Amino acid sequence: MINDASLYIVMKYVTLNKTRVGKDYPTYVIAELSGNHGGDLEKALEIIRKAKDAGANAVKLQTYTADTITLNSNKDDFLIPGNNPWEGSNSLYSLYKEAYTPWEWHEVLYKEAEKLEIDIFSSPFDETAVDLLEELNTKMYKIASPEIFDIGLIEYVAKTRKPVILSTGLANKIDIELAINTLKDGGCKEIVLLKCTTAYPAPFNEVNLKTMVDYENEFNVVSGLSDHTLGTEVPLAAATLGAAVIEKHFVIKGDDTVDSFFSLDAESFKDMIIKIRNIEKSLGAVDYSVSKEAEKNIWAKRSLYFYKDVKKNEKILNSYKSVRPGYGLHPKYFDKIKDYIAAKDIEAGDRVDWDSIKKDI
């Protein structure tokens, strides 16, 4: 566990732009644009619009160029291994050259998001990317899973003192601790830690959502999920477990892009958000009272009713039983009233209540 006196103040929530995000607040859902624009600015703008329509809280970009993220080299180290979904791109440089979001688009995309009133931010992959995003007055940052090891970049982002969402996909516990301490030492006080499995698509048996739940206690951060599995089962499970943030890749239906094979289209994304909101409603609060809607079904409860006629002052033994509906005496009185007598003439189907019975004197 991180040993930092400042962390003894429990982090209940962070503020992302103007939205409070934490376990006691609605899940903050992020639509990841990544390279799903396919090199087309209009597609990128369409994704933002569709993400807004689907109910996303934010859309996230990735800010890099091939030259800021890797080297233009064909040496073995820079070639994409076989059995990899992107092996057709051959080299890291060619993949990132295809997938990157042109920097001149950023201002246009930010303005579109501002107009639509959906949050927008990005993952910077070097210091020049941070400088660009600062010029755009970005409200927060995302540190991508592989960049959790780039301590220089994390230090540079921390100096902005803006909230940071940190993904853990390739990191072990020591790496996570180092990144969090680096952020806090640099002035960043609002951190969201996302459980991530850096596999595309990620197999269900490697997601380990219980680790996400453990993040809050272990690192004293707001926790969530960056998901690369197929479908929506894992995000929905994460919401049930209290994920404050859920990030999922978003693609225009029918598009074949670098990340489309594990992304959700608008219809599926919207369906996921609707289900997340329903899950939030169903989790509710600790409440042992009977709900208003359930009260309407009191007829389904058991209570005591007479099943045959009884004359006034006759013993009621063997004249009543526990049946539905629930308007009579509680069944717990069944044995306690067996020696009582009828206080008035009783007909079969009458409730057993304190007005209809009395002790035999």
CATH number assigned to the domain comprising residue 342 = 3.90.1210.10
Domain of residue 152 covers 15-64+100-283
Last residue of a domain, one of 237, 266, 283: 283
The whole-number pLDDT of residue 10 equals 59
- Quote the number of domains for the chain: 2
Assess whether 123 and 187 both reside in one domain. Answer: yes
Residue 5 belongs to some domain of the structure: no
* Distance, CA of 228 to CA of 35 (rounded, Å): 14
pLDDT (mean) for 220-249: 97
CA 95 to CA 35: how far, in whole Å?
A: 10
pLDDT at 5: 42
Same domain, 300 and 243: no
pTM confidence score: 0.89
Of the residues 283, 312, 333, which one is the last residue of a structural domain? 283
Domain-located, residue 45: yes
* pLDDT band at 23; cut points 50, 70, 90: confident
Task: Say yes or no: 150 and 41 in one domain.
Answer: yes
pLDDT beyond 70 at 251: yes
Q: Residue 314: is its pLDDT beyond 60?
A: yes
For residues 85 and 272, the model is more confident at 272
Rounded to whole angstroms, the Cα distance separating 134 from 177 reads 26
Domain end point (choices 261, 283, 305): 283
